Amino acid sequence: MSDETPKGDKTPKGDETPNPEKELSAQNLPGQRGDHGEEVRVQRGMFGAQSGADTSGYGGLVRSIRLPGPATRPYGGWFDEVADELEGALEEQGLLPDNAIEKTVVDRDELTFHIEREHLVRVARTLRDDPALRFELCTGVSGVHYPGDKGRELHAVYHLRSLTHGRLIRIEVSAPDADPRIPSLVAVYPTNDWHERETYDFFGIVFDGHPALTRIMMPDDWQGHPQRKDYPLGGIAVEYKGAQIPAPDQRRSYS
């Protein structure tokens, strides 16, 4: 007998077996990058140099910087269970899910809910308290600055962990530069106290309701927020034995 598989046999072997929890059609591939998603800027050169000082050899490189777009059902695995439970719990509270959840993203095997900032506290409390969700722990908030994402330049990203169910998700909230205010989650997740202060210090996001929103890293009288992309490069000169290294803002510019 021959060990060869007949040409007409299309039965998948080994790792080719379809995942029964996911659709395989192109329309249901979630959060694809490339030509999909939302373009926030166009990168020119390897490091974004604009003064002709890019010595990397990649000065002619042009690529689109995109955020992953919304996913379509089914998300796969337990992602659908969490999304269904969250939407149902919000409806029970009289809040339409579409009014609270801007979009749901599945990208690189991570589930992210983009939440409208005015509903952030309610959504977080629901994720914490609902028995089928039980995301009891928030491991902190991180700031992100996208100058090209007009009208929502500042993003706050929270990582939530369910110790009960062994799951990890993210929620993300955006605010414009002109009104960088997001509700504080300290009342829901007390561990966010210092994380919100750090994010305020470095990115200038104002967390309304925080018990003591002050700088945590920079001096109280420091001007500006150093982790923003448009923050000017600066620093102090460094002296070595027999050499003097100028401050960063006096070196060759790459921005």
The pLDDT tens digits of the residues spanning 29-47 come to 444 444 567 788 787 777 6
- Residue 121: what pLDDT? 98
Q: What is the pTM of this model?
A: 0.76
Q: Which residues of the chain have pLDDT under 70?
A: 1-36, 47-56, 233-236, 248-249, 251-255
- Residue 18: what pLDDT? 44
- Residue 53: what pLDDT? 60
- Residue 55: what pLDDT? 65
- Residue 106: what pLDDT? 93
- Residue 242: what pLDDT? 80
The whole-angstrom separation of Cα 15 and Cα 31 is 23
